[in-house]
Each structure stands twice: as C-alpha cells, then as structure tokens.
Structure 1
Amino acid sequence: MPNENPASSVPFPFPPPDDAPASPAPAAFEVSSPPSPTIIPPSDSVTTPTTEPGTTGKTRRAALLTVGSTGLSAVISLANGLLMARLVGATRPLDAYLIAQLVPQLLGITFGPRFSAFLVPWLISLRHAKGTAFARTMQTRLLIFCPSVTAILLLLCYFWNREVAAVLAPGFKRATDQELVVNLMKWTFPGGVCFMALSVLTSIAHSQQRFKGMALATLINPAVTLVLLVCFGKTLGVFALAAGFMIGPLLGCLPVLWSLRGSWQDDNIVNGLNGNGQQDTTLREVPHFSSVFMLALITTMQVQIPAIVGRILASGMGDGVIASVEYAGRFSWMPVTVLANSVGNALLPSLAEKHQTSENGLDAAALSNTTKAIRVLAYVLVPLAMVLACYAFPVISIALGGGKFDRNAAILTADMMTCCTPLIWIGPIWMILFKVIQARNALRVLLETLILGTVVDVVFMLCFKNVLGYRSIPLASSADCLMATAFALYRTHSSIALPLGEIMSSMATLTVIALIANLVVFIVRPVTPWLITGAVYGVVYLGLAWILKIREQREFWSLILGKGLKRFRAAAS
C-alpha cells in the first residue's frame, strides 16, 4: 500500500531492470525528516516494500554469485602475490603472510565499498523483477564469464609478474623490499580492480551488449599494462609500471562507454520508455554517469601526477628514501579507490537519486546547488587531500623519526597516509549520508567527519608510535573509522528511523569488538595488524548494515549463515 508520508522516504536510486513491469520503486529504508516545501511528490510515488513471489530465489542467486565473483577476485590477487613471491625469491613465511591476507581481503571486498555499490542495488533490482528471465540470464552469463575471465587473468598474472620482476626485483634484496614488491603487485594488479568496476557496472547493465563491454574492460586493463611493461620496462623502469596503472583503467572503461553509445540517441529512451513500452530511467542516467566519470578522471590524473613527481624529486635523497618512496607505491592504487568511491558509492547513486526526485517535483534550483556542491567537492577537496598525502609524508616521517629521515618512519608514515586516511572509508559514509539527509547537510557532515578522522589518525600515530611502532597503524585505522562513523551517525540520527540510544549502543558494541581484536596486535607478528584491520572494517560495515536495517543485507546474511550450498543447488535447479 502507498506510504502515508512519501516525502519522508528516500527511494533507492537504481531503477528496475529493462524487463521489469512498470511499477513504483520500493523504498530502501525509511527516514524521518520533516517535509520540505520544495518537494511535492505524487501520492503514489513510493510504496511499502513487499516480497514478490519468487524473489527469494533471485535474491539467493544474486548473493551467491556476488560471493563467487568476490572469491575469484581474492583468489586472483592471492595467486598473483604467490607468483611474484617465487619470481623475486621470497621466503616461505611470505607465502603464509599472503594467505593470511585472504581473510581480510574477502571481508573488506565483500562487505566494504563493493558490497554497498554492487550487492544491494542488484538485490533490489532483482526484487523488482516478477519474472525469472533476467535472473536466469545474469546467472548464466556470470557462471560462464567468471571462470573464463579468471583463467585468462591468471595467465596474464604470470607474464605480468615476470616483467615486473625484471624491472623492479633486482634492486630489492632485503626481506622488507621483497614484501614491498609482492604487496605492490598483489594489490595493484588490475584483475581485482576490474572485478570492482564489474561489480559497480553490473548494477546498470541489463543488456548483452553492455555485458560484453564489461568483459572487454576486464581484459583490456591488465593487457594494456602488460604491453607497456614489455615495451618500455627496460627503458622507463618503474615509470612504465606507473603509466600502466594510470592508462590501463582508463582504456578499460572505453568498451563500457562504447557499449552504452546507443543510449544517447534512442528516442524511446529520451521519452522514458524501453523497447517494451515500459517506463525506464536506467539508460537516462548515462549522461549523469559520463559527467561524473569525467570528474573522477580529472581527479585521478591530479592524483597520479604529484605521485610521480614526488618519486622523481625523492630519487636523489639516498637509498633509504628510494625504498620508502617505492613503498609508497601504494599511492598507485589510491586513485582507483577514489574512482570507485566517487562513481560507484557516492556520485552516481546520488545523481540518480536526485534525477528521480526531480521527476517527483524537486525544485530545480535545489538540484543545481547540490550539483555545484558535488562538483566543488570532487574538483577541490579530494584532489587537495590526495596531493597533501603525496607531499606531506616525508615531512611527517621526519617528525616521527626525531628530526631525521628514517626509513622505518617513512614507511610508517606512508602507510598512515595511504591506509589510515579517511579517503579509504569516506565513500560508504558519503553514500549513507546522501540517502538519509539533505545533500547540503550531507556535505557539511562529510567535511566534519573527514576532519575528525584525520585528527584521530594523527593523534593515535603520535601517541602510540613509540610504544607500538609499526603496529600503531591498525589501531589508528580502526579508531578513525569507528569514531568518524559514530560521529556521522550522531549528526544524522534525527533522519534515521532509530532512536539515538540504539545507534550509539550498537556503535559502542562495535568499538569494544574492535578494541578486543586489536589486543591481538600485542602478541603476534607485525604482519597480522593488516588482518585485524580488515576484520575491523568488516565489522564496521556489517554494523552499519544492521543499524540502517537494510532488508537485502539481512537476507544475504540469512543465506550465508544458513545452508547456502543446499539453497544454491535448489535455486540453480
């Protein structure tokens, strides 16, 4: 039945697939914000979510296929790291370290930004479809696509690692340097990045043509980087690798945009109708997606250029500095994080949501102001923060090192600037803020949480660096994530359909869990903090899902914690 107060609900931004019947989109969750005079939605624009017959099986298929693609991504990264370890002559303990990282990688990928950007939209789109054709089609395509692409990517892994080892490995003889090379290759290999892009784009890809575009993108990305390494690795060295990190993802996006080319000129799409004469707003988001993609592209270029310049400037400062700067090669995958968070988690859903809201009567001036604010944030705030991260870590490392540029202090600072900066987790919070409160308030709260998270990072690193040293990183990372998330929820509790006491008590529970987990840091090897950090992030994201009471995530957990394999066989049959 229609909701009695449509103005107090925020519809989920992703519309149903092409073959879904014309029906109003159900609300993802309810909020309790006061009605605004500029919002005049029709009385039947929002409906109470109901479980359609047959949607349980579709949801289970979607959840299991998501877990399968995530597992394949983790296996690719793990296999790539093991291959690189063999090529650089690393010792056996490094293998155990890589295998141990599989757990936090699964947690961070499945229940982190990729989970929010992919699984929930897909589950909701499947719940919109009363028939089974769309679910069967996507299941068949993914079951064929994932194994074949995985095999090709693993083959590319070998050649990729061989070329990278020839370029980088001779200069790294110590165990810490070997760990650097292996980590750099494991985290930056485009296989995992492509699966992230695939996850985001699957939310809007309902045609075979666009699915082929995603398949090409998944293969073009590593292939381009490998070609650059083979052709220019001996002459350019590490810069050929940086060029591959920069050019590969950009060229990989071209097939996807090309597969969407027909959406720009189709009269049916302009009129808001798909081929079956049903209302369809999915493809009408293509102009929004392209404009947001260009913002992310500019941001990515602004990030990579100072990173490369920083390496050049530091090359004359001695061996320790060179090793530290190369260890800061983690910056190479930070632009991908910005790209995924800005497009997949924040800008694209918010633009789609505003587009739908405008059709329901949102004032055009309010839309224009919000769009301007988003553009300012994308053009100024994120690039500024990334540039500061690239140039500030040598200065901070000198302060941590007691007045001299110490190798360990530089590594510690580089990790702090890359792994603990709020840019890593700000994407999911940004997405949540845009869903539950007005956009202008979300921007203000976003800035406040960004500042708070940065302050927490600095305080924890300065207070505990002498006691914990390298192991203070996960403590700072966990603290900034938990505290900033709690602060964001506190600032927006009036817009969430839960009392403040319940929100804060749940956050307190998560904090206790995180602190208990970090106690393990005191009794284990220094490599374990990354496992703990991944687990803490997983707990935080699951806590957010529980707080916001997203129905689809509860269904996902009931599937995973239940007899998942048996249900999968039953659904597949």
Structure 2
Amino acid sequence: MGILTGRHRMGTAALIMAGSVFLSRFMGLIRDKFISYYHGASVESDIYFTSFVIPDFLNYLLAGGYFSITLIPLLAEYFERDEREGWQFLSAVLCWVALVASLLTGAAWMAAPWLSKLAAPGFDTASLERLASFLRIILPAQVFFLIGACLSGVLYMRRQFSVPALTPLVYNACIILGGWLMIDSGMEGFCWGVLGGAAVGSFLLPLMAVRSGGGMRLSVCFRHAGVWRFMLLALPLMIGQSIVVLDEQFVRIFGSLTGDGAVSLLNYARRIMQVPVGVVAQAAGVASYPFLASLVAKRETAQFNSTLNTALRNTMLIIVPLSAWMIAAAEPTLRLIFQQGGFGAEQTLGATPLLQVMLAAVAFWGIQQIMGRAFYAHKDTVTPAVVGTVATALALPVYWWLANVLGALGVALAGSCSVVLYTVMLSAVWRRRFGGEAFADVPMVLAKVVVLSLPAAVSGWWTVSKVGGFFPQAPLTGAFMALAASGLLFCVVYAVVVRLFAPSMLSPVMEMVRRKLRR
C-alpha cells in the first residue's frame, strides 16, 4: 500500500524517476538484446521496429505523452476547489479520451495495409503485409496508454511517483515475456507483449494506485466545463508535432530507404543514446514539473527562475561527461550489449558511428526536456508546439537529403542537428519572453563541462583502443574490460582536471548527494 500512496519531495521524486528510467532503459536494452540475438539487424526486426510508427503517431496526435502535463494544473485546480467536482472533471476527460482513442484506433486498424506503406516506403510487398499484421496487434495498446496517462496525471498531482515509475518496468517485462513465449513466431510475440504490457503496466497499475489513494469516484460522464479547457491546452500539442517526439519515427521511416537492417541498427543505437537522456534529463524534468507549476501558481517568479536554473545547470554537469565517455566507449558498449547470435561484429561496427553521432546531441536533449516543462508550467502548450512544428518542417528535407547522401549515418546526423535546432529555437523564445535569469551561467557551465570532458574522453578512447586488442578471441570479455578500464580512467582524469581548473563546479551536485545520504 505504501508504494501506491507515498508522497515525495522534489529531490526524492527526481531520484525515484531517475531510478525508474534507468531500470526501464536497462530492461529496454535487455529486450533489444533478445531481439538482436535471434534476429540481428534483419528484415524481421526492421518490420517490428517500424510497426510502432503509426501507433506512436496516433499517441502523439492525441497528445498522450503530454496528458499528465496538461491535466496536472487543471486537476489541482478542481480538486483544490471541490473534490467531487475534481472527480467529475476526471470522469469526463476519461470518457472522451476512451471514446476518441477507440474510434481512431479502430479506423487505423481497418486501414493498416495502406498505413503500412506510409510508415515504410522502402519495404517490399511481403514485408508490408507482415508489417500490417504487427500493426493490428499493437494498435489497441494506445487505448490503454491514453487512459493510463490520465490516471497517472492524478498520481503526479498527488506527488505520488512510485507507481508511474513502476509502469514502464512492467511494460518492458511483458514485452520480453511475450517474445520469449512465442519465440518460434518471429517478432509477433513481442507485439502481443506490447499489448499486454500496456493493459497491465500502463492502465491497471495506475488505476489501482488511484483507488488506493482513497475516495475515487469515477463515473460515465461526458459533460464538464473543464473538458474544453483541457482541450484548449492539449490542442496545440495535438496539432503541433515536435522533432523530439517524431525523431524516432523519422529514424524508422527514412531508415527504411537506406537498406535492409538500417532501421534496426538505428534503433539499437538510439536505444543506448536515450539512456543518459532518460536517466538524467527526463527524470529531472518530470520531477521538477509539479514544483515549477506550483511556483507559477504562487507567482514566485524569482524562485521559479532559480529552480529552473538549478535544474539546467545540474543536468549539464552530469549529462555532458556521461555522454562524452559514452562516445569514446561506443564500440565496446554495442559489442557487449548486442554482439551475439544474429548480431555480429559487422553490425557492431555499422552501429558505432550512428551511436556516436546521436550522443553528440545529448546535452541539447537534456535542455529541451526541462525547457519544455518550463513552458507547460506556465500553461503554455502553444509555444513549444509551434516551435516544434517549425523545427520539424525544417528537419524533413534534411532527413531526406542526408538519408540519400549518407545512408543510415545521414539519418542519425539529421536527428542530432534537428534536436539542436529545436532546443536553440525554444530557448531563444523563452529568453525573449521571460528574460535570461533562468539561463544565468548555463551556457558557461555547458562550455566548461565540454572542455573539461575532452581530456577524459581522449583518455577513455585511448584505453578502449588498447584494451580491446588484448582479448581477440573473447570479444565480450574484451568489451567489458574496455568499458571498465575506460570508465575508471575517464573518472580519474575528469576529477583531476576539474580539481585543477574548476574545483567549485561540482559543488552543487555533491552537496545534493550529501543531503540525500544524510537523510
């Protein structure tokens, strides 16, 4: 019961979400390891990864990934005013979400063969038929995702982070289980696992947590004035499509044009790139959002800017060195995680430059994760949507051109350039509208951390190149030893460099760690 109802402070919430994202990414890697072992970078795995293009786009179209963000301020307002009215508002939102999601999912299910051609223009006829069958299995999961996102909004409002942190773990576990139980059916078992994981992890768990919180009074209700307010907040997110949510789909769509196995290699590389983004930046953004929204409601502008500035600087202090080491250790990382069974040394070498190019933009992923939520805390969903849509429109010809010129590497490069563009545009709009207080010293911190990370990154790369040669007959052992040695040397060199040239730079992070340890 405690895990369902416990309330948390901002620091604890950030640690909970960071732990959840880390475990979720780790389980995602296990899932992809399972796929790569049996299917490598093949047409079958390409079809599976591409089968998420249409369902994910449907989720984005309904702003499913932003339901918690758009609902939290309204839920807090209505529940603060009158708990009964709060439940009526939530009931109306749930009923409309369930109805619209079911109708759109049904329409997409019927049009699966036609939609498959849009999702993978480079696939042949047989692959498109297989893709349509996978699509029809995965599509109904969106109904569970969207309803579950509404219920999770209640938990975030209550500052109960444990169950939202648990849901992606259950989801990934179900996918792995489905693939294992139906291993002889190719990738179909993973598709059924997606459906089961959405039902259990994304819907059932939040529902149980909301009920355990006490006083749940949901009913069939379609009429409430707050639904229109919710629609006005969510509509820009439905219409506007940001590059940060469509990048994964562009990787699959344009990857299908660059040859067999390219979609899989890009997906494997992107999965690893998203680990530092999720563990550091996404966790910080999710945990800080309720507090930022509260400060906006109280009109405490100075404290808001200070909190936002702290989140940005601390994220840069952690995510830049981490991504620098991962760039240096990209090859042994891919080798250790994926190189077995159907995934050979050739695939590892093919995915390495893709991962390095993606990791180069990780710091900008971190900034946009936090800045987007700063706008949402002001109940401004229009600006990120407009900026994101403009950035996406500018990115599309870049994806097409680089995919044709450089193949899979061009797709990875286009994604990194697009995220940088979107982040710079969004930050510029914020500075013009709200001033530069939130960015105080952030560019300087970013530049310093990049420069200070370079010697450590070079030492890590040198270690990787030397250690790998000692284990020619044991590639996995060599990869593990290269990662361990390069990681240790990177930390030592980085610590020495920081101690010599910027001894006070890590003080805020170390002080936060000390406070948590004392508690």
TM superposition score normalised by structure 1: 0.34
TM-score (norm 2): 0.37
**Higher fraction of helix:** 2
